[in-house]
Structure 1
Amino acid sequence: MNRVLNHIDAHLDQPLDGAQLADIANFSRFHFHRIFAASMGETLGSYAQRRRLEKAAFRLSCGTPETVLETALATGFQSGEAFARAFKLKFGCTPSAWRATTLERLKAQAAAIGQPPGSQQSNPDQVFGNPHQAGEREFGESDGSYRPADDFAMDVRIIDLPKARVAYQRLIGPYGPAIGEFWRGVMAPWMHSHGLSDQTCYGIGYDDPSLTPANKCRYDACVEVPAQFVASGQADIQTLPGGRYAVARFKGKPEQIANAWMWLTREWMPSSGLQCDDRPCFEMFSAPTVIDPRTGEFNCEICIPVRAL
C-alpha cells in the first residue's frame, strides 16, 4: 500500500488508473478498491482528491509566480473553475485568497503550535538515545513562539545531492512524540539487526499537519542501503530522487528545530531567488553522531528541494 501512495503522490497531475494501482500493490484488481478503503479509511477517489487539494494549497503558499490555473493543472484538475470550486469547498476560500493570506495564516499556525508548516517535526535527538538526555521537553514540544532571522541565520548551501536507495518504514498518524517512539522502538532495532546502524538516515514528513488530518499524516523513517540489499519484515525500498537542494546544518536543542525550519522556508526561501520543488523535504543525519552525549544537542542537515523561479 505504501507503494501505491508513493505512486499517487508522484502522479497527482495525471488520471489515476485503479487497475494499474492494484498491480503496483500486487492486489486483486477486483478487490483493490475495498482493500484501499479499509486500509486508508477513505476511498481511492477521496484520497486522490484530498492529496491534490493539499498539494495545491502547499504550492499556493510557497510564493511561486505560477498562476492559479497553472497550480490547478499541476495538481490534476482539468480547469480553473473545477479547481476553484473544490478548493473553496475544502478550505473555505478561493485559491487566490488562500495565497494572499499565507503570511497571516503561517504566523497564526506558528504561534499556536510552535512548529513550521510543512516541516517533518521529527526528533533525531531522541532517535537512538535516552529520551530524557536532552532535558525535560518531550519530542514535539516547543515554547510556542517563533523567533525571527537573528536567531537562525544559518549558512545555506545550494548543492546537488545524489539519489539515495533507502529502506524505510512508514508511520501514518499524528506527528509529534510518536515519531521519536517509532525510531527508537521500530526503526533503530531493525537497523541494528540488519547491520545498518552506521548508515545515513533520513526523516521524511510528507504532509503539512495544518492541512492534512492528523491521523492521515505520513512519515518515513529511512536508512540508506546498498544496491544488493533486500528489505524484510515491514520495511520496503524506495529511491530518494536527489537533485538540487538547499542544505543547512542544524545543531541545537530539540525545541529549536521548528524555528530553523520556519526561518528556512518562510524567510530565507523568499529572498533566495529559488522556489521549493515538489520532491520531499527531509532531515538527514548519521545515527552514530546525531546526538551530542555531553549536551543532548542533535545534529542534522535540513534539506529542501529547490528550483529556479
Structure 2
Amino acid sequence: MTEVVRGSVQSAQLTRIEKVLEFIHQHLFLPLSLDDIAQKSCWSRWQLQRVFTAKTGVNVAQYIRELKLSRAAEILLDSPSERVLDIALSVGFNSEISFSRSFKQFFGCSPRDYRKRGIRSGLRQPMTAISLSTSDAGHLNALQANLSFTQIRIEHKAAFRVMGYRGEIGGLFASQPDFQQSVPQIWRTFEAIKQSESLLANMTTMRYGVIDTLSLNSERLDYWAAEAPQTLSSQSLNTLEIPTQQYAVLAHKGPIDGLKNKLEWLFTEWLPQSGYRGIDGFELEIYPANYQMHSVDAYMEYWLPIQ
C-alpha cells in the first residue's frame, strides 16, 4: 500500500510540473513572477521551488530567465533591424539595461555583440517530459509516471580533429540495431591500442564517440571511439576532421541504457517540431575521460548536427 501511495504522489507531482511548464511556455513574453506560477500550480512558493528543482534540476527563476534570454538571442539573429530595447520588452524585461546585464551574464557578451557574431550558441529550448520504458525506469514503481524532464541546447562548435579507432555499428533505426553492444567493444579496442602504444599521457580529458552519417548505408554506420590529443601520432589509430557545425545537444545523466529512449524522442518528436532540420554529417557523443557507463551519476551529451 505504501508503494501505491508513493507512486500516486510521484505521478501527481510530475503531471503538475508538466502543467507548470506549459503555463511558463505560453506566457514567456510576460514578466512572470513566482507568485503567478505558484497560484497556477496549487503549490506554495516554497513547495513549487523545491519540487520543480528536484524534478527538473533547475530552479524556476533560472529556467524562465534562460528561456527568455534564449528567445531574445534568436530574435536578435532573425530580426537584425529590430531594436534591442524592443526585443527586451517583448520577452518581459522592463528595461534595456536590465536585459543587457542579464544577457551578458548568460551568454558572455552583449546583445549587440551576439548579433554581430551571427552564431546560434548557448540557446535553451523549452523543457519536455519524456516517458521512460520499464527497463529504463529500473526500480521505479510501475504505477509511477516514469518521466524524465529533458531540455535541448542549441550550440555551435568550431572544426576540430580527433584521433581514434573506427568500427561499424547498427544504428538506432537499423533493422538490427546492435549499437548498445558494438559501441562498448569499439571503445575497449581503442583503450587497448592506447595502452599498447603508451598513448595515455598524450590523451585529453574529453572523449568523443563520432557517428558518421554521411554514408547512404542506413544499416551499418562508421563509429569512431576518439579523443582530441595535442599530438596526433599513432601507428594504429587514425585521424578524422570534424567540420564547423551547429548542433542540438541532448544531455543524459544516468546509466547509458537510458539514452536509447531519449534519442528516439530527439529524432521522432523534438526535431520535427523544433523548426530545425537534421543534416547528414558527424553526430557526437561527448564523455568525460572518467565516464562510468552504468553509474547513476554518469553524465554525457549527444550532439546532433542541425541547420
TM-score normalised to the size of structure 1? 0.44
Query: Could you say which structure has the larger radius of gyration?
Result: 2
TM-score of the pair, normalised by structure 2: 0.44
